C-alpha cells in the first residue's frame, strides 16, 4: 500500500510537468521537448540552493524563473528565428545539460539532513501525510492560477494562438510574443516539478530528466482520453483531468513494478504504455 501511496505522491510532484506539457502541446500545438532539460534544471537549482541553506520558498522562485527563461529561449528560437519547434527544443535541452552540470558541479547532489519542503517540522509528524498535504496545496494553487489565467482575455488569446493563428493575428495579437510566453510558462511549471521531485526523492541528479517528457505526454494523453469520455468543456476540469492522468500513469507504473517487472525495463514499459494509450482509439475504431 505504501508503495502505491508513493506513486500517487510522485504523480502529484509531476503535475506541474503534466500541466506544462498540456500548455505547450494542447494549447499551443507545439511539440516542446525542452522539458527534459528544464526539469533537470529545476532539480539542479533546488539541490544547489538547498545545500547552500537557502529556504525552499526562495529557491522555488529562482527555480520557476530559471525554467521560464529556458522556455523563453526555446520560444525565441522557434518564433523569432523561425526554427522548427522540435529542433529548438532539442537545442535548448542539449545546451541545458552543460548548464545543469556546471551548476551542480558534479552529477549528483544528495540532500542529507537538509531541511526541505517536506521536512516533518512543517505540518504533521507522519511523513507521507505531511508530504501529501504540502503537494496538495501546490497542486490546488497551480490549478487555480492556471485555470483562472486561461479564462481571462489573455488566456483566451493564448488558446486561440494555438488554434487559429491567422485569426488571432488579424485580431491584433503578436503571436510570436504569445508563443514565447506560453513556452516560458510551460517550462516554468516543468522546473517546478523538478523542484518537487528533488526534495521528494532527496537528491538531484544530472540524469533525472532523461525521458521525462514522456511522463508528461502520457499524463496529458490519458487526461485527454478522460476529457473526451466525460465530454468536459470547462477548462479547469480539463486541468484537473490532466493531473488525474498523471496519477493514473504513475499507478500503472507502480503496478508493473509490483508484479515483478525488472526496474531496468521501466522506460521500456513507460514508452509501451504511452504507445498503447495513443493507439488505443485507432485500434478500437478499426475493430468496429
Partner 1 sequence: MLKISHLHKTFNTGKVNQVIALHDVNIEIQKSEFVVIVGANGSGKSTLLNCISGSIFPDSGSIHIGNCAVDHLREHQRSKWIARVFQNPLSGTAPDLSILENFRLAALRTSSKGLRIGITERFKNTVKDRIAELGMGLEAKVHQPMGSLSGGQRQALTLLMAVMDGLEILLLDEPTAALDPRSAETIMKTAAKLIANHQLTAVLITHNMKEALAYGSRIIQMAEGQVRRDVTGAQKTGLTPSNLYEWFL
Our CB check for partner 1 shows the closer of 64 and 96 to be: 64
User: What ranges in the chain are assigned the alpha helix state H?
Assistant: 2-13, 15-21, 35-51, 56-79, 85-104, 127-151, 153-163, 165-170, 175-201, 212-230, 235-258, 266-287
**Number of other residues whose CB lies within 10 A of the CB of residue 286:** 7
Q: Which residues bind partner 1 (CB under 8 A)?
A: 148-149, 151-154, 156-157, 159-160, 163-164, 166-175, 233
Our CB check for partner 1 shows the closer of 12 and 235 to be: 235
As a whole number of angstroms, the distance between CA 50 and CA 64 comes to 15
Smallest gap from Cβ 282 to partner 1, in A, equals 21
Our CB check for partner 1 shows the closer of 59 and 175 to be: 175
Smallest gap from Cβ 92 to partner 1, in A, equals 26
Our CB check for partner 1 shows the closer of 9 and 235 to be: 235
As a whole number of angstroms, the distance between CA 14 and CA 219 comes to 9
Smallest gap from Cβ 161 to partner 1, in A, equals 9
Our CB check for partner 1 shows the closer of 158 and 186 to be: 158
Our CB check for partner 1 shows the closer of 31 and 155 to be: 155
Smallest gap from Cβ 150 to partner 1, in A, equals 10
Smallest gap from Cβ 134 to partner 1, in A, equals 27
Smallest gap from Cβ 142 to partner 1, in A, equals 17
Residue 178 near residue 52 (C-beta atoms within 8 A): no
As a whole number of angstroms, the distance between CA 138 and CA 115 comes to 18
As a whole number of angstroms, the distance between CA 88 and CA 111 comes to 33
User: Which residues, in sequence order, are CB contacts of 84 under 8 Å at separation 6+?
Assistant: 78
The sign one gets for the Cα dihedral 137, 141, 144, 150 is negative
Amino acid at each position: 500500500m505504501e508503495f502505491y501511496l508513493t506513486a500517487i505522491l510522485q504523480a502529484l510532484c509531476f503535475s506541474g510537468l503534466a500541466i506544462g506539457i498540456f500548455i505547450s502541446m494542447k494549447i499551443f500545438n507545439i511539440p516542446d521537448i525542452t522539458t527534459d532539460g528544464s526539469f533537470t534544471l529545476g532539480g539542479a537549482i533546488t539541490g544547489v540552493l538547498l545545500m547552500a541553506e537557502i529556504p525552499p520558498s526562495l529557491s522555488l522562485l529562482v527555480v520557476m524563473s530559471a525554467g521560464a527563461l529556458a522556455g523563453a529561449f526555446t520560444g525565441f528560437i522557434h518564433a523569432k528565428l523561425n526554427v522548427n519547434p522540435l529542433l529548438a527544443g532539442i537545442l535548448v535541452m542539449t545546451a541545458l545539460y552543460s548548464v545543469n552540470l556546471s551548476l551542480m558541479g558534479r552529477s549528483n547532489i544528495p540532500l542529507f539532513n537538509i531541511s526541505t519542503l517536506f521536512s516533518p517540522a512543517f505540518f504533521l509528524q507522519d511523513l507521507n501525510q505531511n508530504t501529501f498535504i504540502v503537494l496538495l496545496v501546490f497542486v490546488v494553487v497551480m490549478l487555480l492560477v492556471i485555470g483562472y489565467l486561461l479564462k481571462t482575455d489573455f488566456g483566451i488569446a493564448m488558446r486561440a494562438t494555438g488554434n487559429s493563428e491567422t485569426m488571432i493575428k488579424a485580431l491584433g495579437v503578436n503571436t510570436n510574443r504569445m508563443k514565447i510566453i506560453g513556452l516560458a510558462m510551460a517550462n516554468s511549471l516543468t522546473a517546478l516539478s523538478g523542484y518537487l521531485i528533488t526534495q521528494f526523492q532527496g537528491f538531484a541528479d544530472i540524469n533525472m530528466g532523461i525521458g521525462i517528457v514522456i511522463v508528461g505526454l502520457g499524463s496529458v494523453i490519458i487526461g485527454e482520453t478522460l476529457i473526451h469520455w466525460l465530454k468536459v468543456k470547462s477548462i479547469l476540469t480539463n486541468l484537473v483531468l490532466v493531473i488525474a492522468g498523471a496519477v493514473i500513469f504513475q499507478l500503472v507504473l507502480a503496478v508493473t513494478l509490483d508484479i515483478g517487472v525488472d526496474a531496468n525495463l521501466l522506460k521500456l514499459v513507460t514508452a509501451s504504455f504511452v504507445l498503447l494509450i495513443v493507439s488505443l482509439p485507432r485500434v478500437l475504431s478499426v475493430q468496429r
